[in-house]
């Protein structure tokens, strides 16, 4: 009896394994989505978008950036890209736009989606992109620790980073934010992946962290498909369905 049970279990395991491989092959036909968060956040910043993508059968990975340097964040994104079974739509929010601009120069990346994000050219840093624009008001609420890591004050989070979210949400965001090494904003990308891949850009017209005019100009420069939302710097939290729709458009058009 025991041997018969073992045989049945082995057969069931083999069948399950076979089904598992079949499912993996099926998802490989549709691009995966790799989400890259920005400064003053972590991977949970995409928590409202992820289930909307999954509901459409899209495989999604949210990267946890160390925020210690551009190089370290790019390495984290590359690991996530390399782990996917097929093509990748690479999405970056805010600082994450700098990361995907560099990490997106990968044969597996089919397209890029910038969400209120920096989009530097090769040889540019995120910090220098705003030099011809008024300083965004949110940066008056950025504080540095003795090691040069920057974070947002509670007021900055509530009134400038995510002013269209309830206080209960911004309170949690304040204490779970990922501080970023300030020097990262001075580090230059060596390549601009948007030059060789189609791009999408979500412009946030009520943004206090990256000037909307700067966003529009970056989107125009990279030749992106543009969607404008009347939101704070975090449309993925205040209007997740509309952000998901942009990402799904990139997925549907990826080759």
Examine the pLDDT at 18 and tell me if it is beyond 60. no
Same domain, 211 and 224: yes
- State whether 158 and 197 are in the same domain: yes
Looking at the structure, tell me whether residues 77 and 127 fall in a common domain: yes
Which of 18-22, 23-27, 125-129 has the lowest average pLDDT? 18-22
More confident site: 3 or 217: 217
Q: Do residue 18 and residue 39 come from a single domain? A: no
Q: What is the DSSP letter of 234?
A: -
Indicate whether 175 pLDDT > 70. Answer: yes
Rounded to 10 degrees, what is the CA torsion of 150, 75, 96, 177? -40
3-state class percentages of the chain: helix first, strand second, coil last, to nearest 5: 45, 15, 35
**pLDDT per position as a tens digit, 208-232:** 999 999 999 999 999 999 999 999 9
Do 6 and 90 sit in the same domain of this protein? no
Domain housing 14: 1-29
On whether both 4 and 80 belong to a single domain, the answer is: no
Kindly state whether residues 6 and 64 are assigned to the same domain.
Answer: no
Share of the chain above pLDDT 90, in %: 87
Please indicate, yes or no, whether residues 1 and 43 belong to a single structural domain of this protein: no
Is residue 117 located within the same domain as residue 173?
A: yes
Q: Which CATH number fits the domain that encloses residue 110?
A: 3.40.50.1820
Residues 17 and 37 in one domain: no
pLDDT for the residue numbered 29: 77
Q: Model's pTM, two decimal places?
A: 0.89
DSSP of 71-94: HHHHHHHHHHHHTSSS-EEEEEET
Query: Do 5 and 107 have their domain in common?
Result: no
Q: Looking at the structure, tell me whether residues 118 and 238 fall in a common domain.
A: yes
Compute how many other C-beta atoms are within 10 angstroms of the C-beta atom of residue 207.
27
pLDDT at 20 over 90: no
Q: What angle do CA 76, 224, 231 make, to 5 degrees?
A: 80
Count of domains in the chain?
Answer: 2
């Amino acid at each position: 009896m025991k041997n018969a049970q073992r045989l049945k279990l082995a057969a069931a395991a083999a069948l399950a394994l076979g089904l598992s491989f079949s499912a993996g092959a099926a998802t490989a036909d549709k691009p995966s989505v790799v989400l890259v968060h920005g400064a003053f956040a972590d991977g949970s910043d995409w928590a409202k978008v992820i289930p909307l993508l999954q509901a459409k059968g899209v495989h999604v990975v949210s990267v946890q950036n160390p925020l210690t340097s551009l190089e370290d964040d790019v390495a984290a994104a590359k690991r996530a890209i390399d782990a996917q079974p097929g093509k990748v739509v690479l999405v970056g929010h805010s600082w994450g736009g700098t990361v995907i601009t560099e990490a997106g120069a990968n044969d597996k990346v089919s397209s890029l989606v910038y969400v209120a994000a920096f989009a530097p050219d090769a040889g540019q840093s995120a910090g220098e992109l705003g030099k011809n624009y008024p300083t965004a008001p949110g940066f008056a609420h950025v504080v540095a620790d003795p090691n040069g890591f920057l974070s947002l004050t509670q007021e900055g989070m509530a009134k400038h980073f995510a002013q269209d979210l309830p206080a209960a949400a911004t309170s949690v965001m304040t204490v779970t934010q990922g501080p970023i090494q300030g020097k990262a904003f001075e580090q230059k990308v060596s390549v601009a992946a948007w030059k060789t891949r189609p791009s999408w850009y979500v412009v946030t017209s009520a943004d206090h962290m990256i000037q909307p005019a700067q966003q529009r100009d970056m989107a125009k420069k990279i030749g992106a498909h543009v969607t404008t939302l009347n939101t704070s710097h975090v449309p993925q939290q205040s209007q997740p369905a509309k952000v998901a729709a942009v990402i799904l458009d990139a997925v549907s058009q990826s080759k």
